[in-house]
Amino acid sequence: MFQTINPVDHNILKTYYFLSEKDIRTKLSIAHQAYKKWKNFSLDSKVQCLTKLYFCMQKTIDVLSYSITQEMGKPITQSRLEVKKSINLCKYYCQQKESIFFQKISTEYEKSYVRFESIGAILGIMPWNYPIWQAIRSTIPNLLLGNVLLIKPALNTVECSIILEKIFLESGFPEGVFQILLIDISQIESVIKNTVVQGVTLTGSSFSGSIIGSLSGKYIKKSVLELGGNDAFVVMKDVEDLKKTAKLATESRLNNTGQTCISAKRFIVDKSIVDDFIDLVIQEMKKYHRGDLYNESTKIGYISRSDLSEKLYQQYKDIIFSGGRICLKTNKDGNFFSPSLLKVEKDNSIVKREEIFGPIGIVSVFSKEVDIPDIVNNTNYGLGASIWTKDLEKAEKLSNKIDTGMVFINDVVKSDVRIPFGGVKKSGYGRELSTLSIKEFSNWKTVIIKKS
């Protein structure tokens, strides 16, 4: 048994029960039977189901948004944006053609090509920070390919997933194509071990990734890991508009109350403009006030769980103890943190080693542009980075020296359905989004045809 807790008032929302081992086996059997049918659906038939899905999601935007806000403490405006973004993802994949499942190879044979085929059931282990978006972005490309999904939701955002499962059924997807598994951590290995499951995708911490990666390797199952981030936001002295850049830096850091893997966590700023940048960011941060999460004007929410709130506060104190200077002090009240800004030396070990998952901005400086790659890369993570400068050629050359999965120049790092999303180092491996994601859990079947 477990309960979901409202992060704002700490009231119990609902009580749930973990599946028994017998129930798990039943769901796996249903997934296997569903896969045998679903993989033979034509692309047009799959797209018809997917089209109905996004229409149903449009009708239930308010219900989904309310559930997100209630379970994880996100302002309602941001919850709605999450659902709308998920709908747009569905629309994008509805536009794809059969050609994405083929790649021709020029050889001496009559025909030679690779066909990307489905492999079976995929276990998706989901996070709590974007409970609808993460589930949709893992699921839809795989369904289009012909796989089926078993989703293990985060235990504090279960209702979001249950509502989503109902929407899939209402949209005409066959039973078993998309299922929610309410399982405990101790039950995950038995699911991965089962022959029905052919792949595992996880969005979560690096610690969780190391465990799931090990289990996937143990049972020889393909895995995709989308883990933490410690993204750098590099501001050069020739930046076009420092005030606008500081505003965007603040928005990136505080989006979803700082609980986003690709938020700008480290502001790395030219020494000659750092004081002005700090002043501008503080001005912007002071615009984020505690308020009613269901009020359209509220821009910042709550840390989603009490244990995470305590961890964040300990990190805040540790950074200060290690030499961090307070530019804007946080005020903590339960799971609420007011935005904070700290200035550190570039070699602060906590900032290098740990992901700060909350509304705390970290500023460091550089004096020479040649030092930027070393400063940016001085972390265990490698998800994204952004560079802000007028000199696009210089920035593009600099991007070649940055060890991340994504580099944005003069824009904040964001997830865009058209663009592959993922990282390196302890940020994980594999890619989500774009048509490339469809190939992650596929059988790359080589076909050679020679005249007899």
CATH number at residue 406: 3.40.309.10
Do 203 and 268 lie in one domain? The reply is no
Contacts of 324 by beta carbon, 8 Å cutoff, 6+ apart: 342, 343, 344, 348, 362
- Asked whether residue 17 is domain-assigned, the answer is yes
Do 282 and 178 lie in one domain? The reply is no
- Asked whether residue 422 is domain-assigned, the answer is no
- Asked whether residue 421 is domain-assigned, the answer is no
* CA distances to 74, 289, 298, 365, 370 from 254, in Å: 11, 12, 12, 21, 29
CATH number, residue 46: 3.40.605.10
Do 222 and 240 lie in one domain? The reply is no
User: Domain span at residue 313?
Assistant: 232-416
- Quote the pLDDT of residue 2: 97
Do 395 and 286 lie in one domain? The reply is yes
Do 262 and 329 lie in one domain? The reply is yes
Do 258 and 406 lie in one domain? The reply is yes
Based on the structure, what is the number of domains in the chain?
2
In angstroms, the CA 123 to CA 199 distance is 6
Do 217 and 84 lie in one domain? The reply is yes
- Quote the pLDDT of residue 345: 85
- Asked whether residue 271 is domain-assigned, the answer is yes
Q: Residue 432: beta bridge partners?
A: 421
- Asked whether residue 205 is domain-assigned, the answer is yes
- Asked whether residue 214 is domain-assigned, the answer is yes
- Please identify every residue annotated as catalytic: 226, 261
Do 66 and 205 lie in one domain? The reply is yes
- Quote the pLDDT of residue 351: 86
- Asked whether residue 92 is domain-assigned, the answer is yes
In angstroms, the CA 132 to CA 137 distance is 9
- Asked whether residue 263 is domain-assigned, the answer is yes
- Quote the pLDDT of residue 348: 74
Mean pLDDT in runs of 10 for the chain (452 residues)?
A: 97 98 98 98 98 98 98 98 98 97 97 98 98 98 98 98 98 97 97 98 96 98 97 97 98 98 98 98 98 97 97 96 96 97 84 93 96 96 98 98 98 97 98 97 98 88
Do 120 and 207 lie in one domain? The reply is yes
